[in-house]
């Protein structure tokens, strides 16, 4: 038995060893195949390989020449591959100073007309957009789209960040120093010298930030008043941080010199002669005008008609759209107002007595929305618009509203026959509900 066992052992061991060696060889060959086969990467090194690939991609640099022409970037779209290091060489051939700003904060800084700047846009991994950050210029279309090839996203945006809608209650509760609407009679002098200082500041409106740009730190700017044939000498001082100018609709002058942009820290004198009666708009003449007007840079010049009669009270109700934040005007504004602030004459009603006649001058500064001037509970027994009477006082007829498109002006006259509270509104009622409302409290 022992002889039989010892005789079979060498063959058995040889068989097991051979099988083990064969198995080990298969495993080694398989591992080598996984490791060494071209195009195959072990799972443990995939992250490292991906990082190396991105690093290699990021070394690609693409330089693009972009030119400012008018209020546009040319080209306005740049296509890049993922991971491209993008450099923009900006040349300003426009008439105004501009910049190029990115969401990451990279910026060319302000580039004057005729100057150049080099902007490092960084490594671009996904589609994005750059723009000119000068107030209102983005809304005018000064955007530069950077599109990553193969990206599903599209960087094109509306160019306007809509202002958050503010509730009526918040607007009604937002108190601020009252802008007096009472008008003084025209001075006897036939020559009027006025100084207007242009500045910028920020304030809060119902908890929302609002950039305010002003003439003499007020909205609307000072009211100028005279008669046909009077001369006006207006000295303008720009104490702001951007270019401003002025356009007096009451004057008949060449815009080339009178309305030219006034750089910060400089002054300019604007002269005109009043040739026709009316209430004439004046406003900032710098582009985009919609933004400058909506931020508060407007006012009125009243040139009295020769047949203007006496009344007990005269008020100015200059209507305008408001811009919130530092954005420009919207075609459908969130907030509108008489004399720059919504509902201020609801919080502080105007006081008159029964039987008194009130003349309400109004100009629609816009820049976009219409005005239908209406007094709830009263008839307009006098209306005068854009140089002519619609309803003459004492004629025995009356009107219910007077419409004013942007840049139009006129006045209405009303006599209150009973005590009570009478609302003056923009009868485009959604605008009345957004701030264009004032109240007259009539007592015996």
Residues annotated within the binding site are 244, 249, 283-284, 292, 297, 427
Show the tokens assigned to 344: 């201020």
Q: DSSP character for 185?
A: P
What are the φ/ψ torsions at residue 375 (nearest 5 degrees)?
-110, 115
Residue position matching structure tokens 């200059």: 318
| DSSP string of 287-312, one letter each residue | SSHHHHHHTT-EEEEEEE-TT----S
- Choose among 381, 353, 375, 364: nearest CA to 424: 375
Instruction: Please give the C-alpha separations between residue 394 and each of 124, 176, 229, 305, in angstroms, as whole numbers.
Output: 72, 39, 28, 17
Q: Which class for 87: exposed (0-12), middle (13-18), buried (19 or more C-beta within 10 A)? A: middle
Instruction: Please give the C-alpha separations between residue 274 and each of 183, 232, 383, 389, 408, in angstroms, as whole numbers.
Output: 19, 8, 22, 19, 17
- Choose among 178, 180, 222: nearest CA to 197: 222
Find out whether 225 and 187 touch, Cβ atoms under 8 Å. yes
What are the φ/ψ torsions at residue 378 (nearest 5 degrees)?
-140, 155
**Binding-site residues for Cu cation, please?**
244, 249, 283-284, 292, 297, 427
CA dist 240 and 267 (Å) reads 11
Residues 6+ apart with CB under 8 A from 436: 319, 336, 337, 338, 342, 371, 425, 426
Instruction: Check the CA dihedral 331-337-341-347 and report its sign.
Output: negative
């Amino acid at each position: 038995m022992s002889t039989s066992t010892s005789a079979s052992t060498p063959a058995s061991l040889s068989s097991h060893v051979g099988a083990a060696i064969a198995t080990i060889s298969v495993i080694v060959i398989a591992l080598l195949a996984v490791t060494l086969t071209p195009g195959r990467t072990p799972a443990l090194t995939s992250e490292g390989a991906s990082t190396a690939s991105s690093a290699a991609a990021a070394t690609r640099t693409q330089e693009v020449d972009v030119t400012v022409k008018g209020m546009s970037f040319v080209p306005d779209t740049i296509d890049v591959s993922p991971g491209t290091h993008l450099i923009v060489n900006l040349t300003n051939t426009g008439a105004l100073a501009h910049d190029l700003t990115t969401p990451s904060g990279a910026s060319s800084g302000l580039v004057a007309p005729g100057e150049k700047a080099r902007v490092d846009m960084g490594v671009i991994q996904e589609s994005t957009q750059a723009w000119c950050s000068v107030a209102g210029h983005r809304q005018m279309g000064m955007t530069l789209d950077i599109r990553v090839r193969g990206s599903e996203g599209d960087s094109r945006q509306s160019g306007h960040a809509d202002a958050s809608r503010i509730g009526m209650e918040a607007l009604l509760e937002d108190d601020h120093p009252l802008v007096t609407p009472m008008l003084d009679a025209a001075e006897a002098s036939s020559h009027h010298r006025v100084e207007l200082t242009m500045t910028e500041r920020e304030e809060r409106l119902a908890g929302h930030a609002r950039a305010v740009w002003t003439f003499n730190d007020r909205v609307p700017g000072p009211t100028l008043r005279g008669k046909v044939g009077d001369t006006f000498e207006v000295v303008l001082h720009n104490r702001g941080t951007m270019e401003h100018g002025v356009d007096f609709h009451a004057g008949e002058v060449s815009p080339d010199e009178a309305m030219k942009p006034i750089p910060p820290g400089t002054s300019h004198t604007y002269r005109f002669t009043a040739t026709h009666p009316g209430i004439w708009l004046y406003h900032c003449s710098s582009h985009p005008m919609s933004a400058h007007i909506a931020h508060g840079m407007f006012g009125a010049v009243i040139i009295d008609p020769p047949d203007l009669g006496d009344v007990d009270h005269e008020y100015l109700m200059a209507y305008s759209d408001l811009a919130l934040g530092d954005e420009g005007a919207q075609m459908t504004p969130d907030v509108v107002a008489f004399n720059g602030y919504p509902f201020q004459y609801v919080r502080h009603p105007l006081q008159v007595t029964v039987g008194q006649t009130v003349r309400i001058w109004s100009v629609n500064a816009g820049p976009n929305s219409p005005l239908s001037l209406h007094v709830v509970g009263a008839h307009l027994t006098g209306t005068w618009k854009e140089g002519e009477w619609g309803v003459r006082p004492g004629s025995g007829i009356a009107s219910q509203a007077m419409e004013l498109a942007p840049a139009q002006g006129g006045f209405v006259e009303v006599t209150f026959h009973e005590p009570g509270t009478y609302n003056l509104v923009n009868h485009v009622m959604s605008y009345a509900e957004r701030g264009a409302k004032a109240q007259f409290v009539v007592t015996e």
